Amino acid sequence: MKLNFSGLRALVTGAGKGIGRDTVKALHASGARVVAVTRTNADLVSLSKECPGIEPVCVDLGNWEATEQALGTVGPVDLLVNNAAVVVMQPFLEVTKEAFDRSFNVNLRSVLQVSQIVARGMIARGAPGSIVNISSMVAYVTFPNLITYSSTKSAMTMLTKTMAGELGPHKIRVNSVNPTVVLTDMGKKGTSDPEFRRKLMERHPLRKFAEVEDVVNTILFLLSEHSASTTGSGILVDCGYLAS
């Protein structure tokens, strides 16, 4: 999707790989100045070569204090994509405290924290903005061994709606994108058994998983003025799974 974000500054978390990386590339190509936030510095080095001029920030978003230090003075941001997440696959009876805490800290608490930093700046400047939270279709449906991950994403639904309600009067929109499987590193991990992957794909009315580009296009739409009257919503990019 070709949109013009010239003159705007965007911040993307989880920018090193997968959906976040391609979101940075698309925003950069559309004229935005981009702050790219991730955990592995080598990913930022290679991304900076592909997208000259981006502002790399290396931080573990699961660490509140480190995030405050890295992003507390990030400056004006108009567009925010909360994309970083981890998935730990465990059945309910085997969920560990470490996996639960880590998942909620990275997938949900960092969304609250980074959004607070960015939204406070928007309000102080009197500037409008758009925040897009990358959720999942498993915010709405169960999936084997994903109880912790899907709980973070369903909590994100209410975070998104409540943020939209409180920030709407400041002309800040907040929405989510809810994809089905996308075969990034994360998506491959969740569908590593070939037979499970095949059967799962067949349950989708479109008989396929989503492509990274499909998700990025939806993110760009929600960031842009083309969705000017949409807030507190989630857009499914699920190849029809929830309709099946």
Catalytic residues: 149
- Do the Cβ atoms of 77 and 121 come closer than 8 Å? yes
Decide if residue 19 touches ligand NDP (CB under 6 A).
yes
Q: Is 26 in the site for ligand NDP (CB under 6 A)?
A: no
User: 53: closest CA among 29, 71, 79?
Assistant: 29
Smallest distance, Å, CB 138 to ligand NDP?
7
Tell me whether residue 74 or residue 127 sits nearer to ligand NDP (CB atom): 74
Stretch of 70-78, 113-121, 179-187, 226-234 contacting ligand NDP, by CB under 6 A:
179-187
Binding mask 85-124 for ligand NDP (x = CB under 6 A): xx-------------------x------------------
With respect to ligand NDP, which residue has the nearer C-beta, 54 or 84? Answer: 84
Residues 181 and 138: beta-carbon distance below 8 Å: no
Q: Which of 11, 32, 44, 61 touches ligand NDP by CB under 6 A?
A: 61
Among 44, 79, 84, 167, binds ligand NDP (CB under 6 A): 84
**Does 200 participate in binding ligand NDP (rule CB under 6 A)?**
no
Residue 191, classified by CB atoms within 10 Å of its CB into exposed (0-12), middle (13-18) or buried (19+), is middle
Question: CA 22 to CA 125: how far, in whole Å?
Answer: 29
Decide: is 17 part of the binding site for ligand NDP (CB under 6 A).
yes
Q: Considering the complex, state which of residue 140 and residue 171 has its C-beta at the smaller distance from ligand NDP.
A: 140
Query: Of residues 39, 109, 173, 204, which one binds ligand NDP by CB under 6 A?
Result: 39
Under the criterion CB under 6 A, does residue 134 sit at the interface with ligand NDP? yes
Q: Does 234 bind ligand NDP (CB under 6 A)?
A: no
- Closest separation between CB of residue 192 and ligand NDP, Å? 12
Phi, psi dihedrals of residue 242, rounded to the nearest 5°: -70, -15
* Alpha carbons 127 and 109: distance in angstroms, whole number: 24
**Rule CB under 6 A: is residue 187 a binding residue for ligand NDP?**
yes
C-alpha 216/C-alpha 5 separation (Å) is: 14
Angle between helices 41-50 and 18-29 (to 10 degrees): 30
Q: How far is the CB of 135 from ligand NDP (least distance, A)?
A: 7
Which residues contact ligand NDP by CB under 6 A?
14, 16-20, 38-40, 43, 60-62, 83-86, 106, 134, 136, 179, 181-182, 184-187
